Amino acid sequence: MLDLPRDGDAPPARRDGVPPPGAAGTEPSGSPSPDVPGGPAERPGGGRVTPGPGGAAGPSGPAGDGAEREGTAGRLDDALLGGPRRWSMRDLAVRLGVGVDEVRAYWRTLGLPHADPDELLLTEADARAMERSTALVRDKGLQAATVTSLVRALGHTSDRLALWQVEALVEDLGTRLGLDDVSARLLVIDRLPEIVPLLEEQLVHSYRRQLAAIAGRYAAEFGEAAAPGDDPLALPLARGVGFADMVSFTRRTARLGPVELSEFVQRFEAATRDVVAAEGGRVVKTIGDAVLFAADDPATGARVALGLAEAFGVDPATPVDAATGAGHAGRMPKLGAVKGQPRTGAREAEGLPTAGGATPVRVGFVWGRVLSRFGDVFGPSVNLAARLTDAADPGTVLVDAPTASALAHDAELRCAPVGTRELSGLGPVDAFRLERLAG
């Protein structure tokens, strides 16, 4: 058994000399909360705030001396990492009875910056996390390569999640309190210790719900599945996959300011995810100005594809009620001119694009077999869907002949032949425009 410190063990002295939270003389000086009117964050003109000693927001000024910065770093370590940085990688390797290269490989797999093996970097929580990973091999019988993949998944997704959430908080504070970007970022650092516990609980809840959803789909799909086919090279999962790609994204966003570009991208991301989820599909990933989605059956995938084409194919002059989506058959409000949404009048007067401009999408959809790995999907049908997307007209959905055949008996859909399309890297493909029948 590894000789890890017990919770009751007295921690060694902090390298920065800062006593732990709650020690005498370390309480904040009683600075007003940034949320309280008149507090540092709401100075006229949106003045800059910086975390002061103990984390309290202080007035504009120099970044502070080294002791102040070390104090803030120590407070964040206590709140986010559970305690001080006790060990170097070399120390932890000795404690865990493994080679230092193994500790460095674990750290690298998490996607964290490479460190000097003698730097005091690691906490007790880091030691326990690595022990849990080795226990998956030792006690659960998993292959080491599998554990590496699991750790890499955590590092990849948590890095993106942390960045997404921090940037959302920065934008919230900057907009709500009238702060410049630097001040908002400093204030987010100050606020992290109080908000992280709530975000962490939400993360665990969301993760378990997603696992339960996957388990439910697998139980329904494979619980009474027939024996595997004779083709050992066949990809394992029958899935519908499709892309929705913004038309002229570069031209539409080239002259947007940072706030407007953020609104534009956020609205596209939120709307695509809402449409896909409402129709029963799943967003695999977003890729800049495009979204890749998947569905478990042809009909669901077709409705996702049509839902995306319909949701974004709107005249920019058409007013849409953001609350009800009136005029769109109960579907998501399109990314057109949303009635009641603030617009940047100066930009409109100059004829410049704004986040409210219509954003048609091209959509390609294919039913076929895929390999699902690393949170992504792979296979010829994915490539074909991407190429069909490139060939589609704005606001329309293209499918191939096998997908059209799979949808032939759906009374609500029609696949109209549009001729042969020469697709890059694939050659000539018979294409069909997917349409929803009136009625």
Q: What is the pLDDT of residue 26?
A: 37
Q: How far apart, in whole angstroms, are the C-alpha atoms of residue 277 and residue 102?
A: 41
Dihedral (CA of 127, 133, 137, 143) sign:
negative
Q: How far apart, in whole angstroms, are the C-alpha atoms of residue 104 and residue 93?
A: 9
CA contacts within 13 A on the Cβ side of 302 = 25
Q: Which residue, among 141, 94, 118, 125, has the nearest Cα to 5 in the 3D structure?
A: 125
Q: How far apart, in whole angstroms, are the C-alpha atoms of residue 92 and residue 259?
A: 45
Quote the pTM value. Answer: 0.59
Dihedral (CA of 387, 391, 393, 396) sign:
negative
Token pair in block for residue 195 = 């908000």
Q: Which residues does 152 contact at the CB level (< 8 Å), separation at least 6?
A: 109, 110, 111
Q: What is the pLDDT of residue 225?
A: 56
Q: Are 343 and 356 in contact (CB under 8 A)?
A: yes
Q: 323 exposed, middle or buried (CB, 10 Å; 0-12, 13-18, 19+)?
A: exposed
Tens of pLDDT, residue by residue over 75-132, are: 888 888 888 898 899 998 998 888 999 899 899 899 988 778 999 999 999 999 999 9
Q: How many residues does the chain have?
A: 439
Low-confidence ranges of the chain (pLDDT < 50): 1-66, 69, 314-357
Q: What is the pLDDT of residue 77?
A: 84
